[in-house]
Chains A and B, each alone.
Chain A
Amino acid sequence: MTIKILNTLITVVVGVGAAVILYWVLNKIAELLPGRWEDRIKPFLYILPAYAALLFYLVYPAIQTFVFSFANATSTEWVGWDNYTSLLQSENFQDTLFNTLLWMIVVPVVVVALGLAMAVLADRLKPRWERMSKTIIFLPMAISAVGAGVVWGLIYNYRPEGREQIGLQNAIVTALGFDPVAWLQVTTLHINSFFLMMILMWAQVGFSMVLLSAAVKSVPEDTLEAARIDGADERSIFFRVVVPQIWGSVLTVYVTTLIGVMKIFDIVYVMTNGGFNTNVVGNEFFNQLFSNFNNGAAAAIVVMLMIATIPIMWYQVRNFRREELMA
């Protein structure tokens, strides 16, 4: 333990020292240049480490992954498109894709809608109550996904009929005189997938609420007053005056949640590990890599996921730039 602490301390000291020395050296190099050139070159020298880091830790692995997706399980032989075709032809992977699509459709919309509703409603409360209700809704954000899995595992817990039910939902159901239900096994209409989505929504609504609440508060009061004077009712004020003005924030929350959902892994892994037809792409990737040791299939999944994320990222960056210009 002491050795570990010492190790950490040394690492921090050496790391900081190295960074300082690096920049000092880069600075010196720049100062060697004649006057005008110093100013021109210096910014590039300063940004160089950050770009190098991006290159090594993001671009290089991405390319490597792309290359590996055309190789076999141990990355020793080329197999062409085999990884892609066998994945896309397998019934299980098709189900996995469909489930992921369900997550992408349902979760971001619900998270934004609920977050917005709570932001607006909380806005009407007295400051003390507003703070309190917001804190409570925000709390789940502080719990890790695995922790949330444990909490919700107790809510969905199932025991055979006749034994004491320790699961909240089954305790309610049996108290009402029905038979206990194995919630996570109910595949009809993908209900079990929705039970898993509940967990993520529960954790994410707070985040959405906080961002949207800030946006709602920044809506200028005079626009609302003007609308009221014009005789608009509360509903049209909300949809025609407030929402258009916070649309940028709504989109940001939506896109952030969407990207998070596409990569969802931990909740599914902890609750069902993809069993009972609840598998999603992130979990399938993990299993291909760490239980099947199949580098090829895992890389192919990542590449597909990457390709699917790129348009959203591109849209988001463009949106972000436009907003920055406006601000």
Chain B
Amino acid sequence: MRLTAKRRRAALAATAAALALTTTGCLGSSDDGGSGGSSGGGDDGEVEILATTDPLVFDGLKKKIEEEAEAAGINVNMQRVDNINQLILTRIQAGDPPDIAVIPQPGVIKQIVDRGEGVELTDDIVPADAIADMTPGTLEAGQIDGTQYGLMISMNVKSLVFNNKQAWDKAGYETPETLDDLAALTEQIKSDGGTPWCFGIESGTATGWPATDWFEDLIMRYGGADVYNQWITNEVKFDSDVVRQAADFFETNVLADDSVPGGRGSIASVAFGDAEDTMWDDDPGCWMLKQGNFIVSADFMPQDVVDNVDERVGVFGFPPAEAGGENPVMGGGDLATLLEDNEDSRAIMKILADVDLGTEAAPSSSFISPHTEFDTSLYPSETTRQIADVAYQADPFLFDGSDQMPGEVGAGSFWKEMTAWISEQQDLDTTLTKIDDSWPSS
């Protein structure tokens, strides 16, 4: 009797353990089955597209793509996912890539190409005349070692400076034409008793990234596009003259006393999205915000500012080093990559390359087309047109550098060491050396 009771208990425990096991094991695989769908490539009349764009942009693009695809008799299964970087590599490893992936990071496209995947976008896939009007530099953003693998379908711009339009006009400040002008303007605002810059780099686990944007913009201006591209691959070190020059400008204008509300020590604790909160006061708490076009949204700005964006928000391009010289503009974009080469997916790539791809997305989202011939009247506001114009004037358009660096640096040491430097935990020399040291050896 005693034995059986003991046995029963053992059996019960073992069953429970086995149960836990089998269920957890099954959950993992059933999840895969759910999201994988039945569209694992092939010429089956259905094209699977994965993208990670902003939801509103995604909805607009999806609508347009589905319309066009239906006209061509192709079934499109377009999904928005959050972690496309990991997902895409996992699915490639599993031998089940989507037909087309829209990826925001050139580094990930390089990883795809390194694994022997990705189809070169030759003329017969993306017609040359369809992309002849692309903003200079946007095609290069999708090239891996000179071969076109990614095609930019929507862009964002980061070389922008926002201000409180009404207060700005009242004070009579002028749009700076050069970096020297910008420095002079910073001084002028200070001498007028204002605080020139709104600046915060707190962003949870990604704290520090807004500072890297400053460095990228300054380095491409002081060094030019070639030096910038060498800097991204660490051929030009962080511990170099051009980076020091950038740091010097940044330190003199943004980190100096009275340059930002609360001073240098506050920068690392102020959320990047809260930095401009006081800019909208009648007597602005700070005057200029250097940030990407995504910031013009009720997620970051007060609702009444966004509702009256053309009256309230002023914007100009981050000025070039010299007037009339090279005018690089920094930003990002979503790059369509072809992973399964077949007739249907090629047809979809043509749709993606078309200048009219964004006609549905533009009026209702922050979408900016990389095509200079895009109908700008579709943009929802004058501000968006101005922002797009900054991008279209680019010579050239350069992709956000930290997105192209290895993860250790671009999403790691670059952020962290900048944060440590800005919050005065270490000097510039240490900062630059530490970032160089963190560069992966392989």
- Could you tell me which A residues sit within 8 Å of B by CB distance? 3-4, 7-8, 10-12, 14-16, 18-20, 22-23, 42-43, 46-47, 49-50, 53, 57, 72-73, 90-92, 158-163, 182, 184-185, 187, 269-270, 272-277, 287, 290-294
Contacts and interface: CB of A to CB of B under 8 A. Distances in A.
Given A11-B27, A49-B17, A23 B11 contact: yes
A300 to B, nearest CB: 14
Given A291-B411, A293-B407, A159 B19 contact: no
Contact of B268 (A4, A8, A163, A185): A185
B412 A292 contact: yes
B412 A287 contact: yes
Nearest to A72: B442
B127 interface: no
A270 B407 contact: no
Interface stretch (B174-182, B239-247, B258-266): B258-266
B164 interface: no
Interface residues of B, number: 48
In the A-B complex, list the 6 residue pairs whose CB atoms are closest, starting with the nearest: A160-B262, A273-B205, A15-B23, A182-B269, A160-B266, A15-B22
Given A11-B27, A159-B262, A163-B278, A53 B21 contact: yes
Given A7-B34, A19-B18, A46 B266 contact: no
B10 A43 contact: yes
A269 B205 CA distance: 7
Contacts of B262: 159-163
A293 B86 CA distance: 10
The DSSP consensus for interface residues of chain A is helix
Interface stretch (B357-365, B385-393, B415-423): B415-423
Contacts of B86: 290
A49 B270 contact: no
Interface in B12-30: 14-15, 17-19, 21-23, 26-27, 30
A282 to B, nearest CB: 14
Nearest to A57: B21
A292 B266 contact: no
B208 interface: yes
Contacts of B274: 159
B105 to A, nearest CB: 12
A10 B31 CA distance: 12
Interface in B150-195: none
B95 interface: no
Given A46-B14, A293-B407, A294-B440, A160 B261 contact: yes
Contacts of A53: 17-18, 21
A76 to B, nearest CB: 10
12 contacts: A4-B34, A10-B30, A18-B22, A42-B7, A72-B442, A159-B262, A160-B260, A187-B425, A269-B205, A276-B420, A291-B408, A292-B406
Given A50-B18, A163-B261, 15 more contacts: A4-B34, A7-B34, A11-B23, A15-B26, A49-B18, A50-B14, A158-B266, A159-B262, A185-B423, A273-B205, A275-B419, A275-B420, A276-B423, A287-B412, A291-B412
B207 interface: yes
Contacts of A274: 416
Nearest to A269: B205
Contacts of A72: 442
B324 interface: no
Given A23-B15, A53-B17, A270 B205 contact: yes
A275 to B, nearest CB: 5
A220 B262 CA distance: 60
Contacts of A290: 86
Contacts of A158: 266, 269-270
Given A14-B26, A291-B411, A50 B442 contact: no
A270 B204 contact: yes
Contacts of A49: 14, 17-18, 21
A275 B265 contact: no
A170 to B, nearest CB: 10
B15 A20 contact: yes
Contacts of A91: 434
A185 B412 contact: no
Contact of B408 (A14, A22, A162, A294): A294
A153 B30 CA distance: 37
Contacts of B204: 270, 273
Given A160-B263, A291-B407, A276 B425 contact: yes
Contacts of B27: 8, 11
